[in-house]
Amino acid sequence: MQLSVEKLKQLRRRQGWSQELLAKACGLSLRTVQRIESEGRASAESVLALASAYQVSPVDLQGANAVIEADWTRSKIMRAIVIIALVIGLMLSLFSVVAEISTYIDLPIAILIFCFTSLLTCLSVGVEGLLMSVRGVKYLFAEDIQGGEPIRRLANVYQQQITYVYASAILVWLVGLVAVVIEIGQQFDLHHLQQVFAYSIPVLILPFLYAVIGSEMLLRPLKSKLLVHLDD
């Protein structure tokens, strides 16, 4: 767990303790206390011991200025790239079994869902929250993520975006449905009805396909990965 170094030092000085006294008060070794105050990283057991000694909540030790840190290694990045490539390959293979890949591509719909999701994110968490979620995609390629409260905030942003993506898909679908109803109402005959449905059914389904891909194959894995490391 990532802690605020400044907060740790501030609490110890407020108690008038040296690092040796703090080590005795919380039952940790002096080296452990020195390392925690130097790096700001501690195990869950060490955090509980420090919080008990200072009589504060473990969350209070994280501080508002904690940042997300991740372990970046070439092997872990390459492993993530391989997994993502396999997922994309499986998706394309699945799509190609049913129809041509071009059938699943509708750029205006994808842009609309992306824009609605981005605007709703800005409305709820601000532009900085949107930028934070974009930068957070890089954590798909990292392990041993540390950050405490910033991790929680970023995971909450992704949870909101999952909702916004589906809401955007529903909105696009409703607009498309209205267009279909209007088109049918203008000329109601069997041949025209078949033409309208042949053209509109893929368009009405694609928003939800894009929503599932964006939410369940990008945003939710990111959120889950962050939450797994939240209490490490």
Sign, Cα dihedral of 37, 42, 46, 50: positive
- DSSP for residue 64: T
Contact 151, 144 (CB under 8 A): no
The gap from C-alpha 224 to its chain's centroid, in whole angstroms, comes to: 7
Residue 172 has pLDDT above 60, yes or no: yes
| Residue 199, strand partner residues | none
Q: What percent of the chain has pLDDT over 90?
A: 47
Q: What pLDDT sits at residue 186?
A: 73
Residue 91 has a CB neighbour count (10 Å cut-off) of: 14
- Write down the domain spans for the chain: 5-61, 70-228
Pick the more confident residue, 6 or 196. Answer: 6
Q: What three-state secondary structure class fits 41?
A: strand
Contact 158, 226 (CB under 8 A): yes
| Residue 210, strand partner residues | none
Q: What are phi and psi of 89, to 5 degrees?
A: -60, -45
CATH number of the structural domain 5-61: 1.10.260.40
Q: What pLDDT sits at residue 127?
A: 93
Alpha-carbon distance 145 to 226, whole Å? Answer: 7
Q: pTM higher than 0.85, yes or no?
A: no
Alpha-carbon distance 25 to 199, whole Å? Answer: 72
